[in-house]
Amino acid sequence: MNITLAQAEAAIKAAKEKAKHLNTLMNIAVVDAGTNLVAFAKMDDAWLGSIDISMRKARTARYFNMPTGEIGKLSQPGGPLYNIEHSNGGLITFPGGVTITNDKGLIIGAIGVSGSTVENDHAVAEAGANAVK
């Protein structure tokens, strides 16, 4: 099962609303269950360097079916996933990427957000993911 374009657009809309509430500018990427880009939004004046980061966060969350911040905790020196960020063409292992599930709890995609603090990135990603149910 994959996320639909309508669901991806709903996730982006909710993420943009949360970003505005936090007074920040974001790049927001939504991928399907196979990590293919379904939808993307760059808010006006959001950092260009965050475009790639947002897409990698979405893919990283889906590759391992967990928030990117959790992967980051496991990939610290001495951790069980140390150096994992060098796999799969480069992963992002700090907060801002989360999986998206359907109403049955099945993973149908992921959202990645970049453009602010990792706390804001994660909050915006969660808002987007929670809009899809």
CA nearest neighbour of 42 among 53, 55, 28, 56: 28
Mean of the per-residue pLDDT values for the chain? Answer: 96
Convert the pLDDT of each residue in 5-41 to its tens digit.
999 999 999 999 999 999 999 999 999 999 999 999 9
Is this model's pTM higher than 0.85 or not?
A: yes
Domain residue limits at 115: 5-130
End-to-end CA distance of the chain: 13
User: The CATH number of the domain where 23 resides is what?
Assistant: 3.30.450.150
State the total domains in the chain.
1
* 1 confidence band (pLDDT: 50, 70, 90): confident
Helices (H), the chain: 5-21, 49-64, 68-74, 118-130
